[in-house]
Structure 1
Amino acid sequence: MNRADLHTHTTASDGKQSPTDNVRLAAEAGLAAVAITDHDTVAGISEALDAGARYGIVVVPGVEISTAENGTDIHILGYGISWRDPDLLGRLEELRSVRGKRNERIVARLNELGMPITMEEVAAEAQASPRGDGSIGRPHIADVLVRRGFAADMRDAFDRYLGEGGAAHIVPPRIAPEEAIRWIHEASGVAVVAHPGLYRKDDLVERLLEFGGADGIEAFHSDHDEVAEHRYSRMAAKAGKLATGGSDFHGTRQGVVFHGPIGSRTVDASIVPRLLGERAKG
């Protein structure tokens, strides 16, 4: 297939598979390209690029930057970034420190709700797999909730506690989406609004396309239905911007693939040169 999955996570952030595993899975799925887009880190890119050379598959260096708008988490994907750029690395390190404080607040809230888990348990869950920078995310907290019997599985943990509207959902002070877009552009990358259907704020998405500098929308995503995919494809086309897509693969937890398997959401690989262009720097 001449297809590309442009949204996957690895053990460099909160995924369960190594960067090499993601590239291998993409090759086994018959894909031509795969993007590595870990949360607020580029620690998995070097390994993935090496694996891409071995498996004969194009690896798009990427990142998923955490931002917020009026109390809603908004994620911005960066593609073809100069991933060794010192300014970008410093900025991402600052974001990871915010993530750490958020995790502590989530655990404290869960304690208030009668679930006496600890940050030590969460850290131990994260350390079960080697990570490039020690990043801890909500899936690690979910793993502890499941193991302790407070949630049936990953999806249940997010629906009831950790996702938007959940009892322990915390949105810490974050940079604005426009700031993340600027960072990506300054790192010679292409900025795309991730999974817009999860925000239920189409006016915000349109604003980022028209005035915020976003280069595209992730129209195709594991949590988008067909109606949403058509809507965001049309929105991107109307704005003259890119429509990208990907599985948002995080690996398998408790037998459930989160969000979807690699290759389950793809776009034509002809988009990849537009994401890389002259931007693929080492």
Structure 2
Amino acid sequence: MDKLADRKGCDLHSHTQASDGMNTPWENVQLAYERGLGALAITDHDTVAGIAEALQAGERLNIIVVPGVEISTMAGGTDIHVLGYYVDHRDPVFLERLAALRRTREKRNEKILAKLRELGIELAMEEVIAVLGRPLEPDESIGRPHIADALVHKGHALDLRDAFDRYLAQGAAAYVPQPRIHPKEACEWIREAGGVPVLAHPGLYGDDALVRTVIEESGFKGIEVYHSDHGVSEEERYLAMAEEYGFIVTAGSDYHGERQGQIFHGDIGSRQVSTQVLDQLQQARARS
């Protein structure tokens, strides 16, 4: 096995079966190892259920696993995602807060299924889970991508994108808004769990004025400058913004695995920074 010191790249955004990813935590770490990365963050939506397995894989494969999370929030009527790095994934207060977010998501899922029934599409949550092909583990999170998979499986959509465009995306026929906390509260939760809050993929929000407002209100320590859905101009813009605010610059593929022959959003390692960024995150954590 090669030395960790020879592996410099770091992908700080990946999802597993614990939320809406397709792979197990172990498989994500294995892929990172095969890509020659030195570190991988596990950042599932509103859950840390995949971290323990990923840490075991990291020890086995001699690759750093950063325990993380991606919390769904809202500001200015826009969904804003907050990444948290080096959170204590066993902290009982943090775990209960995340569980409360998942319970809200579950209520939203049922409302989405009710809207689909109004459209003549009969789809039960049991069918959504059945498409997973495995039992749902404790603390795992079911979200819209799982419902989209079930819609495709039952022939109501051509693929994942079609399912979102027709039924699940904002403004689509079965879309249901979800009550969310403010980014400031998510940042506070992450800090109280011993972690470092970073603004995820600002280019996806389409509103840099809002991005600045959220940054100035919320207590972030970094920006995900390099993301699979950011173009070169966006990366340059957010790099300048990070420098302006004195923020840590992070990168992430936002890997979700392969669905219907497509990788969402990018493959593991497609966006990366040096593992020196981990030192910066640890220093920010110590200062908090």
Coarse TM-score class (shorter-chain normalised): over 0.9
Determine which of 247, 259, 262 is the counterpart of 1:256. 262
Listed as ranges, the matches of 1:270-281 within 5 Å are: 270-277=276-283
Residue 64 (structure 1) shift = 0.5
Partner of 1:224: 230
Percent identity over the alignment is: 57
| Gap runs ≥5 in structure 1 | none
Determine which of 69, 75, 83 is the counterpart of 2:81. 75
**1: CA distance between counterparts of 2:13 and 2:268?**
9
Residue 177 (structure 1) shift = 0.9
Partner of 1:148: 154
Residue 150 (structure 1) shift = 2.0
Instruction: Check conservation: 1:210, 1:239, Cα contact below 8 A.
Output: no
Partner of 2:25: 19
Determine which of 186, 194, 198 is the counterpart of 1:192. 198
Partner of 1:66: 72
Residue 271 (structure 1) shift = 0.2
**2: CA distance between counterparts of 1:268 and 1:167?**
43
Partner of 1:91: 97
Instruction: Check conservation: 2:85, 2:281, Cα contact below 8 A.
Output: yes
**2: CA distance between counterparts of 1:99 and 1:246?**
24
Instruction: Check conservation: 1:217, 1:242, Cα contact below 8 A.
Output: yes
- TM-score w.r.t. length of structure 1: 0.93
**Residue deviations 1:47-103, cap 9 Å, x none?**
101100111110000001111124322111000111211110110010010010111
**Residue deviations 1:128-148, cap 9 Å, x none?**
265342421111101011112
AA aligned to 2:245 is A
Q: 1:211 aligns to what SS in structure 2?
A: helix
Residue 107 (structure 1) shift = 1.6
Listed as ranges, the matches of 1:5-44 within 5 Å are: 5-44=11-50
- TM-score w.r.t. length of structure 2: 0.91
**2: CA distance between counterparts of 1:149 and 1:212?**
43
Q: CA RMSD in A?
A: 1.8
**Residue deviations 1:152-206, cap 9 Å, x none?**
2222222333233433332211111110011001111110111111111222221
Q: 2:191 aligns to what SS in structure 1?
A: helix
Instruction: Check conservation: 2:83, 2:199, Cα contact below 8 A.
Output: yes
AA aligned to 2:242 is A
| Gap runs ≥5 in structure 2 | 1-6
AA aligned to 1:146 is V
Instruction: Check conservation: 1:65, 1:180, Cα contact below 8 A.
Output: yes
**1: CA distance between counterparts of 2:282 and 2:61?**
19
